[in-house]
Amino acid sequence: MSPLKLMALACIMSASAASLAAYSDPLPPDLTYRPLPTQPLSSVRANDEAQKPKVMKRQQDLLNKRYDLADKPIPDASMSGGQKKVQDGVRVRLPDGVTWDTLASMSPTEIRDKNLLPEGFRPLPHVKQATGGQVFPQKAIDEIGKQENRDLKRFDVDFDLPDHLTPEFPPPIFLTTHPELGDVSRGELLTIKNFYEYMNGIITPVQMEGLRLLLTPFPQEEFNQTEDRKVAQQSMGVACLDCHANFHTNGAFHLTPDVRPQAARFRLDSTSLRGMFNQQIHGSKRSLRSIEDFTEFEQRTAYFNGDHVSATRKGVNLPDRPNQVAMMAQMQNIIDFSPAPKLDLMGKLDPAKASEQELAGERVFMGKGRCGECHLPQTSFLDNNMHDLKLERFYNIGYTANDQVAIADGPIKTFTLRGIKDSPPYLHDGRLLTLADTVEFFNLVLGVKLSQDERDSLVAYMLTL
Amino acid sequence: MRDFLTTVLVTLVSTPALAQMGNPAGFAPDTRMEEPGVPAAHQTNNQDRLFAQLAAVGGLAEVDLAKLAATKATDSRVKEFAQAMVDDHSDANSRLKALADAAKIPLPDKLDADHKAMRQKLDAAEGQAFDVAYIRSQIIAHQKTAQLLAWEIGSGEDAQLQQYSAATLPAVMKHLRMAQDIASALTGQASREIVAAKHN
């Protein structure tokens, strides 16, 4: 190379080095990573407690504006334990001047431009978005408190939905290994204090050890010993089955681990662990490929914060993959769906057992309603795929509701519909309260224009699953 | 070939503890053998003796609770179920007693703490709540009994106690299903079969 060319090259290189240094992004330091608390717990708590009534009122106002929260059960539809009725009717409130039918006849763009998408169809904020974290329903707090003397009550927020809109508690447990026994929960909540007595003789040593680990509390984000906690006393932490009560769900909610910044994280309603043996992808967004992966990972990031760094300060539990994780997974893999006696071996209704309306609902499900294209009956109403329902076709994103910035949901895993009457509220964030709400939602999202009879029959059909 | 078949058939028919081929590792150390591997009649191991205790106290409780339910229940299906429990379990209890006597196993004649607590709960419940509480207690009791019988079939040594268990188990399963169906009719709880074929 000639000296001139060499000089020119050197100039270019130093110039680009200088520009790299000069232009490095001036981003805030705590967008991805969680900031350390700057206040002592005592003053955080005093402020949190002072804010709490207003926080809860703001959330109640939002819920009342979006939904009819009344207790209106379907008289002859119970959840699988027979302890709670399924709630009836569409609960999402319509904007003034439209009906469900006029709305369904409009194009997505028209609905978006006129701002007519019901607010109840949009992302549901956490009670306190800025803090987030796991929030347990009062019944779970009371029962764990009674059995284990462990406090799951937060001083900054309470659970926001009324009890009748959540799953029955404690829910029944059905085992793939003992279908003949039916519900083996004895009507009680499984805890670290009683599990051995209740399961002795029914499960194997490996499953028993897995169960023990699933019921053992470990320090987690809001429940630990540090200033990060939101519980009065230093806490023993949280156990897996605190949310997945009896391997089902008690409706406890959290924020997704998968999104930053904090304001844009969406709410997550605890999923049931029933029938997971048939599911190939786990988590609404993470698409983790095995129960083992999910189980191992949940412990590592202090539950749903997607943050291994912050978790480490509280003392992480790293279950040993080939031993402990495998056992926890094996226990989870014997949890069956609730019985659906009207379904045949391929997940289709048996005409000898189902009513006319239920059969009509199945025809809509498989035909005009298009539900069966994603919820495949013969594979437990799953397709093991994620789908982008593109709800943002219907509304302008970027607005803020109770401090949550609404962004598009993006692809979400298809949830199973087996035992669906047992697990309100619906969708990944629990934004829909009843099965009738889900029918209106998909009627609009899919643009299938179902008649009232067809919609009613879909609800009747889903109650048989 | 023909000789071989005959031998197999003869052996099968002449083995006294037909179909009971226990694991010798679990036999009591002082077991007298009728022939190698086959304990003499009424030879028991620890499992047999514990089984007899637990099955007997469970049987006592069944009859006790069923007598209560036969008078206290309001629903006719619950009443009928309770009466069936009185009959079936009284019968099973006396057969168990005869086998235990033959094997010189003393049996309890009072309810244990577990069943007393259950009895107290049921004494306190009234009306529809009683029906549901009783039938739920029966689901749990029959689930436990099914486990206990299967355990004796697999781990016991006394062939007659094992045969008793094998003969009783199908009835216990049937009772369990009956109780599940009644609970389903009373509360709407899910069951593997439909109780009323069609309802709308």
- Residue A417 structural domain: 73-125+340-462
Q: Are residues A202 and A321 in the same domain?
A: yes
Q: Are residues A88 and A142 in the same domain?
A: no
Encoded tokens for B9 = 């058939």
Q: Are residues A309 and A349 in the same domain?
A: no
Q: Are residues A86 and A201 in the same domain?
A: no
Q: Are residues A348 and A402 in the same domain?
A: yes
Q: Are residues A374 and A242 in the same domain?
A: no
User: What pLDDT band is residue A311 in, cutting at 50, 70 and 90?
Assistant: confident
Q: Are residues A217 and A269 in the same domain?
A: yes
pLDDT at A297: 80
Give yes or no for residue A10 having a pLDDT over 70.
Answer: no
pLDDT at B60: 93
Last residue of a domain, one of A332, A359, A388: A332
Q: What is the mean pLDDT of chain A?
A: 93
Name chain A contacts of B143, Cβ cutoff 8 Å: 181-182, 184
Q: Are residues A147 and A176 in the same domain?
A: yes
Give yes or no for residue A304 having a pLDDT over 90.
Answer: no
Q: Are residues A392 and A425 in the same domain?
A: yes
User: Closest residue of B to A82, CA-based?
Assistant: B189
pLDDT at A29: 81
Do A341 and B194 count as a contact with CB atoms less than 8 A apart?
yes
Question: What are the pLDDT digits (tens) for A70-88?
Answer: 999 999 999 999 999 999 9
Q: Which residues contact A264 (CB under 8 A, 6 or more apart)?
A: A404, A405, A407
Give yes or no for residue B46 having a pLDDT over 50.
Answer: yes
pLDDT at A307: 83
Last residue of a domain, one of A332, A361, A376: A332
Dist. CA A376–CA A365, nearest whole Å: 10
**Omega of the bond leading into A261 within 30 degrees of 0 (cis):** yes
DSSP track, A446-462:
HT----HHHHHHHHHHH
* A123-132, A221-230, B185-194: which is most confident: A123-132
Q: Does A134 map to a domain?
A: yes
Give yes or no for residue B15 having a pLDDT over 50.
Answer: no
Q: Are residues A89 and A178 in the same domain?
A: no
> Which of A186, A355, A464 is the best mutation test for B, with the most CBs of B within 10 A?
A186
Last residue of a domain, one of A332, A362, A389: A332
User: What pLDDT band is residue A305 in, cutting at 50, 70 and 90?
Assistant: confident
Which CATH number is B43-187 given? 1.20.1260.10
User: Closest residue of A to B143, CA-based?
Assistant: A181
Q: What is the mean pLDDT of chain B?
A: 87
Dist. CA A303–CA A255, nearest whole Å: 9
User: What pLDDT band is residue B37 in, cutting at 50, 70 and 90?
Assistant: confident
Q: Are residues A147 and A253 in the same domain?
A: yes
Name chain A contacts of B198, Cβ cutoff 8 Å: 353-355
Name chain A contacts of B140, Cβ cutoff 8 Å: 186
Question: What are the pLDDT digits (tens) for B71-110?
Answer: 999 999 999 999 999 999 998 999 999 999 999 999 999 9
User: Closest residue of B to A356, CA-based?
Assistant: B200
Give yes or no for residue B12 having a pLDDT over 70.
Answer: no
Q: Does A146 map to a domain?
A: yes
Q: How many domains does chain A have?
A: 2
Do B189 and A183 count as a contact with CB atoms less than 8 A apart?
yes
Q: The CATH number of the domain where A380 resides is what? A: 1.10.760
Look at residue A426 and give its three-state secondary structure. strand
Lookup result for tokens 């330091």? A29
| Cβ count within 10 A of residue B195 | 16
Of B190, B193, B200, the CB nearest to A355: B200
Dist. CA A54–CA B87, nearest whole Å: 63
Rounded to an integer, the average pLDDT of A360-379 is 98
Return the amino acid letter for A355.
Answer: S
Of A76, A77, A181, the CB nearest to B143: A181
Q: Does A59 map to a domain?
A: no
Return the amino acid letter for B118.
Answer: M
Q: Does A28 map to a domain?
A: no
First to last CA, chain A: 77
Look at residue A58 and give its three-state secondary structure. helix
Q: Are residues A82 and A227 in the same domain?
A: no
Encoded tokens for A126 = 């956490």
Pseudo-torsion of CA A371, A376, A377, A379, nearest 10°? -160
pLDDT at B3: 43
Q: How far is CA A399 from the centre of its chain?
A: 22
Q: Which of A5-14, A263-272, A314-323, B58-67 has the lowest mean pLDDT?
A: A5-14
Q: Which of A202-206, A306-310, A435-439, A452-456 has the lowest mean pLDDT?
A: A306-310
Q: Would an 8 Å CB–CB cutoff place A353 in contact with chain B?
A: yes
Nearest Cα to Cα of residue A424 among A128, A74, A175? A74
Name chain B contacts of A341, Cβ cutoff 8 Å: 190-194
* Three-state helix/strand/coil letters over chain A: CCHHHHHHHHHHHHHHHHHHHHHCCCCCCCCCCCCCCCCCHHHHHHHHHHHHHHHHHHHHHHHHHHECCCCCEEEEEECCCCCCEEECCCCECCCCCCCHHHHHHCCHHHHHHCCCCCHHHCCCCCCCCCCCCCECCHHHHHHHHHHHCCCCCCCCCCCCCCHHHCCCCCCCCCECCCHHHCCCCCCCCCCCCCHHHHHCCCCCHHHHHHHHHHHCCECECCECCCCCCCCCCCCCCECHHHCCHHHCCCCCEEECCCCCCHHHCCEEECCCCCCHHHCCCECCCCCECCHHHHHHHHHHCCCCCCCHHHHHHHCCCCCCHHHHHHHHHHHHCCECCCCCCCECCCCCECCCCCCHHHHHHHHHHHCCCCHHHCCEHHHCCECCCEECCCHHHCCCCCCEECCEECCCCCCEECCCCCCHHHCCCECCCCCECCHHHHHHHHHHHHCCCCCHHHHHHHHHHHHCC
Q: Does A32 map to a domain?
A: no
